[in-house]
Each structure stands twice: as C-alpha cells, then as structure tokens.
A and B are shown apart, each in its own frame.
Chain A
C-alpha cells in the first residue's frame, strides 16, 4: 500500500525567506505527483503536477522536483509572502488507479 509522508508537519518562516517542503512515497511506481494548497475552510487548489517521466515543474515562485527512483519530491517556494500561509499537500497516483494518495500536509506560516 502506498504511503506518503510530508516533513515537516509545520513550518514558520519570516517573510522573504526561501523554503523547501518535502514529500516522500513508498511505492515508486507512480503515474504522477501533485502539490496542492489548502486554505482553512476551503478546498484544495492544485499548484503543480509532475508526470512520472518529468523531473521538475515551475510556476511563478514555485518549483517542484521529482526523484521517482528515490521516492522523493520537494516543493521550493522563493521569496515567501504572508499570502503563502496555508497547508501544502502532496499526492500521488499510480498507473491504472483513479485514486490520489495524499500525505498529511505541511502547515506553513509566513510571518510579516
């Protein structure tokens, strides 16, 4: 059974700092990996999707990398802003499955 782990569970940084969130998964036979953002009382918003054949994806200040063989992904956030405060979740799918398997998330607080 696929297990997804996110470290750290919570992170507090001053505004302007660059930061890295980590995600690991136990079964490397994934089809893709996604990073989501969840704000309190709201649903999930997809940030980046990396296909298993890709190494990284970038969107604005966000960069996600994938090392499928080692079962790891990182989300890099540059020049953090208070508006980046949210819970960040990573999720994987495997070929032939409809299911997203999520980690528990990292709660990020960016202090002004």
Chain B
C-alpha cells in the first residue's frame, strides 16, 4: 500500500516568502507528526496531531510556523516570512494509533527547503 507522501520534494524560497508543505499520511492513521532535520543533525520534533486536533506544538521554533490538519488526514506545515535558518528537511510521519504510547512512526521522504 501507499506510504507517507510529501510535496513538494524540493522547495527554494527567497527570504521573506511564505511556503506551504504538504503531507499525506497513510490512510487511516490517527497520529501525524512533523519533524525538522537540519544538515548533519537528527530530526527534531515540531508538532503532533491526533486526528484533526493539534495536541502538541511545543517544538515549533517561532510563531512564523503554523500547522493544520483540518479533516484529520492531509496536513500542511506553513512557514511565514522564511529565514535562512529555516533551511532544512521537513519530515512528516504517521502512526496508526492515538496517544503517547503510540506504535511505530512511518516517515515520508521529506521536503528539502532552501531559503536564499
């Protein structure tokens, strides 16, 4: 079956532009996660959705970052007024169950964002 997909795979933005990154989780998965991975680093947690509810957004680095999952399936991560330090790979993951004792997270291929 289809895995987690993300689009676009690559995005180049000029500093100050707004960007929107899309994640299509595995069908039926309740939990959805966003991570940010800078070059040479491990992924860092950004936010967590259980269905359409955003239960944890403690990892969002600033109020320029906004995520939504309005119908409990597709999710969008939006970054306003992009800065060079936002350059990273943005990974989306989903898992079947809800709650903190969740099962394995399945990751998408990521969107590589480059801010010039």
Contacts and interface: CB of A to CB of B under 8 A. Distances in A.
A42 B89 CA distance: 10
A45 interface: yes
Given A4-B42, A95-B101, A104-B41, 12 more contacts: A31-B100, A31-B101, A43-B107, A43-B109, A44-B91, A44-B107, A89-B43, A98-B31, A98-B33, A99-B58, A100-B45, A104-B40
A11 interface: no
A102 B42 CA distance: 5
Contact of B56 (A31, A44, A49, A99): A99
Chain A interface bracket (under 10, 10 to 19, 20 to 34, 35 or more):
20 to 34
Interface of A: 4, 31, 34, 36, 41-46, 49, 89, 91, 93, 95-105
B91 A43 contact: yes
B55 interface: yes
A34 B104 contact: yes
Interface string B42-77: 111100100000011011000000000000000000
Contact of B45 (A41, A89, A101, A105): A101
Nearest to A102: B42
Contacts of A44: 43, 91, 93, 107
Contacts of A4: 42
A91 B109 contact: no
A106 to B, nearest CB: 11
Contacts of A104: 40-42
27 contacts: A4-B42, A31-B100, A31-B101, A34-B104, A42-B109, A43-B91, A43-B93, A43-B107, A43-B108, A43-B110, A45-B107, A49-B104, A89-B42, A91-B42, A93-B100, A98-B48, A98-B55, A98-B56, A99-B56, A100-B33, A100-B45, A102-B43, A102-B44, A103-B42, A104-B40, A104-B42, A105-B42
